[in-house]
Structure 1
Amino acid sequence: MAEVWFYHLDRWPLDRALPALLEKSVQRGWRAAVQAASTERMDALDQALWTYDEASFLAHGTVRDGDAALQPIVLTTGSDNPNGAAIRFMVDGTDVVAALEAGPYERVVLMFDGNDAEERAGARLQWSALKKAGHDVAYWQQNEDGRWEKRG
């Protein structure tokens, strides 16, 4: 059964936090999938991953680019696993349960904006449902130095 980690974004926006977590995943040898709620958001993340750091290169593609199976990181709006990812990042309140069913994954990460009441509420609902179903869930939040700390 996959671990499910919740990342509470309140210090950094998604387009700053996600690249760092994707880099760590790739360093582990994992392929990654990022699921956005809309094509527009997927396109914005695509642009952010190309431009987030001038000194770094994070190879990735979108499902529309073709050859998704060859990409170390693929951005998608669907719940399938087009590149055989070991880790899946869920943004914009996308459904973790559907991703778990499409797996298998080592880990699924739900990233939510702690400053958005709707996203916070959605994350709480998913947390409760996953705990009730017996999944191993963990909650991460940034400290004042910007480091992630496991809080639950």
Structure 2
Amino acid sequence: MDILFYRLTSSSLEATVTTFAERTLQRGGRMIVRGTGAARLDQLDAHLWAYRDDSFLPHGRDGTHDAEQPVLLTTKAGRPNAAGTVLLVDGARFEADGIDELDRLALIFDGHDAEATQAAREDWKKVTETGQTAVFWAEEDGRWVEKARSG
């Protein structure tokens, strides 16, 4: 499995998470969005309920029927909803434990934030040390372009 790194420079975290969630659910999968702060996850929660007038993405915050949630927003480790896709956002860090059980792992970081960029570089190194392939994606002209690949 490739570990994906997405550097946000023009898209919002909300838009990127929404795209991942829509595609994951279209494939019949489940997803976890793991962050580091409850307030930010509350913002994502509100966005996913109201991002379009004609629909919403079925999801929930941790502590509310976790195992039943197609998309679970959490600060905790683990995969209580048996998600195959995990997004690490807002400083959530890469851990090698359990990656063999995943279909997709993506680390999404703010490319305008020097600390977030440095943390992503450190995680890139950790990923390559595990023998996994790391793939770096950047935004160019409104689309995602693969910029680097390890291994």
Q: TM-score, normalised by structure 2?
A: 0.91
Of 53-62 and 67-76, deviating more is 53-62
Q: Within 5 Å, which residues of 2 pair with 1:1-152? A: 2-65=1-64, 67-97=65-95, 100-103=96-99, 104-144=101-141, 146-152=142-148
Percent of pairs with identical residues? 34
Superimposed CA distance per residue, residues 29-55 of structure 1 (whole angstroms, 9 cap, x where no aligned partner) = 210000010111211111111122223
Unmatched 5+ residue regions in structure 1?
none
Superimposed CA distance per residue, residues 25-82 of structure 1 (whole angstroms, 9 cap, x where no aligned partner) = 11122100000101112111111111222233211001122x1111111111001101
Q: TM-score, normalised by structure 1?
A: 0.90
Secondary structure (helix, strand or coil) at the match of 1:78 reads coil
The number of residues matched between the two structures is: 147
| Larger fraction in helix | 1
CA RMSD of aligned residues (A): 1.3
Secondary structure (helix, strand or coil) at the match of 1:58 reads coil
In 2, the alpha carbon distance for the partners of 1:134 and 1:102 equals: 14
- The question of whether the paired residues in 2 share the 8 Å contact of 1:34 and 1:76 is answered with yes
Amino acid at match of 2:80: P
How far 1:101 sits from its partner (Å)? 1.2
- The question of whether the paired residues in 2 share the 8 Å contact of 1:96 and 1:108 is answered with no
